[in-house]
Amino acid sequence: MATIDWRIRRLAQTVFTVWAVTTLSFVLVRLMPGNPMGAMVRQLEQQGVDPVRARQLVELRLTIDPNEPIPIAYVDYIVNVLSGNLGQSVYYAEPVTQILAQAMPWTLFVLSWSLFISFFIGIVAGALMAYWEGGKFDVGLTSWAILMGSIPYYVLAFLLLIFLAYRLNWFPTSGRAPTGVPAGFNWPFIKGIVHHATLPVLSMLVASGVASLGMRGNSIRVLGSDYLRVARLRGLSDTTISTQYIARNAVLPMYTSFLISIGEMFGGSVVLEQVFQYRGLGYYLLAATYQRDYPLMMGGFVLITVAVVLALLIADLTYGLVDPRAGGQNSDSY
Amino acid sequence: MTDHTIEDLLSDDEPTETPDDGDARTDGGSVTSPFDVVSQYEETRRDRYRKLYDAYVYAPVSIIWKDWRARIGFTIVAFYLLMGTVGPLLVDEAVVAEGPALAQPFENWAYPLGTDDMGRDLFSQVVNATPEMLKMITSGALFTVIVGTTVGGIAGYKGGTADTVLSSITDVFINIPAFPLVMVLALLLPIGGNPWVIGILLCVASWGGLARAIRSQVLTLRQEPFIEAARAIGVPTPKIVFKEIIPHLMPFVVINLTNAARRVIFEAAALYYLGILPFENLNWGVTLNLAYTAGAHYRPQALHWFIVPMVAIVFISIGLILLGQSLDRVFNPRVRARHEKTTEATEDPEEGDGTNTDVVGGL
């Protein structure tokens, strides 16, 4: 085991996860009692569609052929998914891949900003809390962080929507881009996008509360360590100590919680995009659930999972660059 | 020495006496075999229970009670427990048109938190939703902790193939975003409205993090001398895992229990709000959903309809966070070590913990 490079193992694990999720979606659609495939065939037949034609339609939409035995249908399905064919949406009558591909950048836009801003705030606040530990600032900020941690992001989203959008009219109440402005690389459009994305990004900032508490704990631990005393005895400047000795060591363990946040935020995008009617991945996933549009729903589910898995893979592979001690190990070693 | 003596020594509570060989029994000093007498004085069953009580009940409770966070956290959680058990007996179920539509809160004692647009009492809605919520929280949190601890414990302790298989499964669950999975499962599986099942469903993908953490802790623990000793004298593996290793992980597990509980509340409310979970009775999430569909977010006179369930959700999570944090302070040796140097914190936690470790060592 140990002889195999961890990067290869990590890659194998990613492939395994994607395979597991795809298989799960196949099992749910094809094998479960009362499964969507059977339901779709029956529904079409009831609408008076010729049984042969109905089965063809279902195959087109779900990329699973109802006539074939399960093992063959399964292999076909996997091949289809791998080649990017997720079937055809019933409600939108468009290929699932196409719908999701145009929604994806919007979700990534909101999520990446939420992640970076909330972790930046969390790290700075946590470091300050640790620096003034026990003081008024620390107590105040700790209480604030606890409160932030207790508020689900969607509750904050409601509050922002009610007060900043409906009451004060500072931000648009729904949508993802300004209407009547040509899409493209022009200032009004970019400004409009940022304007629409502000409230969703702000709602996700609740994550900064938990992050700041984690950072505070790490910093306090580093502050109590022996090498820091030695560094002070050596007469190193305060700047060197705080940036090279404290900040670096305290931030590194935050990486793991950063990784976990990626998955949680992707999941959270479903509720958030519903609240703000922001047409991203989560919005279409939810719309598909309401419409019982199974191809779009399963496609959205598979795609969100793949996106998260890839994000985690990239983050893990680059971890060695951030932490030289990890050399040949990934974030698991923490 | 006869077998009679050994028998007497073993049955410490009620020695059966035969009048003739009193001297064989009276002094423990004249034993011929080193195996006859183990301890200088006998420990009765009651002593043992008292020590256990000291170590696991009295000391932690007294430590916790000295921390303001823990006090608030416990009070809030206890309040919700009361609301979930006694509440429904005292507060009648909300019915349509028991008051005027959209009555404002704090105006009439018949409906203290106001009413919704069908004149249903919001306070009663909150109270009567609590038992179901508590059931979900219990089953979900227990499921997370049991599966996470078992999988992580076995993977870490067994090693080899078991570890490879279990770790791969764990990694899959860590990588999958939980919320979309739960959403799809809730829609496609015939779960019905049973709160216990819903609780488990909500946590079906969220035990991975705990399992990984437990595994790495077990990997460290199994190198400890006392575990090696247990292995050397041939204690069966399940007994070592559950009697020696798991108790050392308990603090960690308890903290994760509160986190899992918080996750269940957040996710349940979100899924009910989205209208994905089937429901029969009103609960916090369903109330949110109804308020949103009725446009309470842009109708100022309906604002309280939105705020009431939100406060119910936020309040219990504050309680759970405070509880988890204070438990962390009690159990986390790093926090303790840091605070040993400061003067203000030295008084209580260390004292309490001193007794704790002493008693455990004595056992």
- Look at residue B250 and tell me whether its pLDDT is greater than 90: no
Instruction: Give pLDDT tens digits for B83-108.
Output: 888 878 877 777 776 777 677 777 77
The full set of domain ranges for chain B reads 44-347
The rounded distance, in Å, linking the Cα atoms of B99 and B9 is 75
Reported as a pLDDT band with limits 50, 70 and 90, residue B63 is low
Q: If you average pLDDT over residues B322-349, what whole number do you get?
A: 54
Residue B189 burial class via C-beta count within 10 angstroms: exposed 0-12, middle 13-18, buried 19 and up: middle
Q: Phi then psi for A95, rounded to 5 degrees?
A: -60, 140
Query: Å from A184 to nearest chain B CA?
Result: 31
The verdict on residue A212 lying in a domain is yes
Partner-chain residue, chosen from A149, A224, A298, that has the shortest CB–CB distance to B321: A149
Q: Do A308 and B175 touch (CB under 8 A)?
A: yes
Partner-chain residue, chosen from A155, A224, A304, that has the shortest CB–CB distance to B337: A224
What is the end-to-end Cα distance of chain B in Å, rounded? 30
Partner-chain residue, chosen from A34, A155, A267, that has the shortest CB–CB distance to B177: A267
The verdict on residue A255 lying in a domain is yes
Residue to test with chain B: of A18, A155, A262, most B Cβ within 10 A: A155
- Look at residue B2 and tell me whether its pLDDT is greater than 90: no
Residues of chain A with pLDDT under 50: 1-2, 328-334
pLDDT value, residue A23 = 86
Instruction: Give pLDDT tens digits for B111-152.
Output: 777 777 777 788 888 888 888 889 999 999 999 999 998 888
The rounded distance, in Å, linking the Cα atoms of A264 and A206 is 12
- Look at residue B15 and tell me whether its pLDDT is greater than 50: no
- Look at residue B323 and tell me whether its pLDDT is greater than 80: yes
Instruction: Give pLDDT tens digits for B197-239.
Output: 888 888 888 888 888 888 888 888 878 888 888 888 988 888 8
- Look at residue B22 and tell me whether its pLDDT is greater than 60: no
Q: Which among B310, B248, B269, B330 has a CA at the least distance from the CA of B73?
A: B330
pLDDT value, residue B359 = 26
Reported as a pLDDT band with limits 50, 70 and 90, residue B23 is very low
R_g over Cα of chain B: 27
pLDDT value, residue B343 = 33
The DSSP code for B33 is: S
Instruction: Give the helix ranges, DSSP H, for B189-302.
Output: 195-202, 208-221, 225-232, 237-239, 246-274, 284-293
pLDDT value, residue B37 = 55
Q: If you average pLDDT over residues B289-304, what whole number do you get?
A: 81
Nearest residue on chain B to A262, alpha-carbon basis: B177
Q: Are A249 and A221 in contact (CB under 8 A)?
A: no
pLDDT value, residue B1 = 41
CATH class of the domain at B44-347: mainly alpha
Half-sphere exposure of B307 (CA within 13 A, CB side): 17
Residue A256's domain comprises 105-305
pLDDT value, residue B31 = 54
Query: Å from A49 to nearest chain B CA?
Result: 25
- Look at residue B328 and tell me whether its pLDDT is greater than 70: no
Partner-chain residue, chosen from A161, A268, A312, that has the shortest CB–CB distance to B175: A312
pTM of the model: 0.78
Q: Which among B153, B132, B75, B102 has a CA at the least distance from the CA of B294?
A: B102
Half-sphere exposure of B53 (CA within 13 A, CB side): 6
Q: In whole angstroms, how far apart are CA B10 and each of A315, B1, B4, B23, B363? A: 62, 14, 10, 17, 19
Q: Do B185 and A166 touch (CB under 8 A)?
A: no
pLDDT value, residue B144 = 92
Better-scored residue on pLDDT, A185 or B322? B322
Q: Other CB atoms closer than 10 Å to residue A223's CB: what's the count?
A: 15
User: Could you tell me which residues come within 8 angstroms of residue A213 by beta carbon, excluding any fewer than 6 positions away?
Assistant: A126, A142, A145, A146, A149
The verdict on residue A100 lying in a domain is no
Q: Which among B176, B84, B196, B187 has a CA at the least distance from the CA of B130?
A: B84
Nearest residue on chain B to A333, alpha-carbon basis: B216
Q: Which among A268, A57, A289 has a CA at the least distance from the CA of B188?
A: A289
Q: Based on the structure, what is the number of domains in chain A?
A: 1
Lowest model confidence (mean pLDDT) among A69-83, A105-119, B260-274, B306-320 = A69-83
H helix or E strand, kind and range, residue B14:
none
Q: If you average pLDDT over residues B288-298, what whole number do you get?
A: 82
Q: What is the value of ipTM here, to two decimals?
A: 0.82
Instruction: Give pLDDT tens digits for B149-199.
Output: 888 888 888 878 888 888 888 888 888 888 888 888 888 887 777 888 888
What is the end-to-end Cα distance of chain A in Å, rounded? 19
Reported as a pLDDT band with limits 50, 70 and 90, residue B35 is low
The DSSP code for B55 is: I
The rounded distance, in Å, linking the Cα atoms of B305 and B102 is 8
The verdict on residue A85 lying in a domain is no
**Chain B contact for A38 (CB, 8 A cutoff):** no
pLDDT value, residue A326 = 57
Give the CATH number of the domain where residue A211 resides: 1.10.3720.10
Query: Å from A265 to nearest chain B CA?
Result: 9
Instruction: Give the helix ranges, DSSP H, for chain A.
Output: 6-26, 36-46, 51-62, 70-82, 96-131, 136-150, 153-160, 187-203, 207-223, 226-233, 238-240, 248-251, 254-275, 281-291, 294-317, 319-322
Q: Do A221 and B310 touch (CB under 8 A)?
A: no
Partner-chain residue, chosen from B209, B322, B344, that has the shortest CB–CB distance to A260: B209
